[in-house]
Amino acid sequence: MDGGQTSTTAVVCDLTGKLLGVGRAGPANHVWEPGGEKRAREAVAGSTAQALRQARASRQTEFEAAFLGITGTKEDGRTERAVRNCVRARRLRVANDKVNALASVTGGKPGVVVIAGTGTIAYGENSRGRSATASGWGYLLGDEGGGFWIARQAIAAACRAYDGREDETALARMLLAEAGLPDLWDLHFLIYAEKVSRSELADLARVVPTAAARGDRAARSILREAGRELGLAAGTVARQLRMRRGRTAVGMVGGVFGGSAEVCRSFRREVRTHVPRAHFRRARFAPVIGSVVLALKMAGVRRTQSVLANLETASTAVGSK
């Protein structure tokens, strides 16, 4: 299972990695927020039931193993306590979705992954079984390089240019066009009146790569800084795990990497100042199939070439459903 800020996806596979069923439901994140535990239970139970129906299996089916990757999960066990009765499994693990994101890149092997969507987080595991995390402090205290951060930086640059404190930038016009507003003060009002959500604000970040491609200096500066911040997070994790000298896999996951070549170039440059022999990877599998990789490992299944091939087929199918 992969549970995020907007939706939850569950898949049922057999012990060879073949996909049997897919289920989807609403968000399952942040159980400590008002209504969070109920929301998480509904998402986990609903997506699981739908996947079992598609697999033509009973809702009382007991899995050999289940891995639930859920955004915002902490090590205090609260998320696991909230959802453990929603899935019947001989072996059950509930963890932050950064864990299955890494597995989606490395297939369960050591490495570092940076997830850059609305927010950001870097996570790694080494060959000795140690793990480490950097960033992921949320939109108020961090998440540098994520979609919300990029949008906030773009709006701030537009405001400075509006005042004349900095040179003119195309970002003001493009942000307003994207938001469907006539003036920056209208956007200012919506933000401070909390009439626009964090995800809606993060969506405004999509104009920044377009502005950068047209030569806008403010936009290019924002994207370069985003890449540096994301690279610093990856390098920090590699340092904590003593993976800086070896040939370390560094995964790039999330819409920010997919949306900006400028971010990717800056990210790679920064990472190589910390991990000179880093080799960069995109995700081999969808995040939810990363969870399957970990569930199969929990069940003692060897990741043979045929199993990995089945998982790749499952990943493609999940993306198309």
pLDDT in tens, 102-123: 999 998 899 999 999 888 899 9
- Mean pLDDT of the region 14-22: 95
Query: 146 burial class (0-12, 13-18, 19+ CB within 10 angstroms)?
Result: buried
CA geometry: angle at 230 spanning 224 and 233, to 5°?
A: 140
Domain boundaries, the chain: 2-106+284-320, 108-283
Q: Which helix (H) or strand (E) holds 69?
A: strand 63-70
- Mean pLDDT of the region 196-210: 89
Place of tokens 């949320």: 138
Domain 2-106+284-320 falls in which CATH fold?
Nucleotidyltransferase; domain 5 (3.30.420)
Evaluate if residue 321 carries a pLDDT over 60: no
CATH 3.90.1150.10 describes domain 108-283: no
Give the Cα separation of 192 and 108 in Å (integer): 43
pLDDT digits (tens, 9 = 90+) for 239-250: 999 998 888 999
pLDDT digits (tens, 9 = 90+) for 27-67: 776 766 777 778 778 888 899 999 999 999 888 889 999 99
| SS3 of residue 229 by DSSP | helix
Angle separating helix axes 171-179 and 147-163, nearest 10 degrees:
120
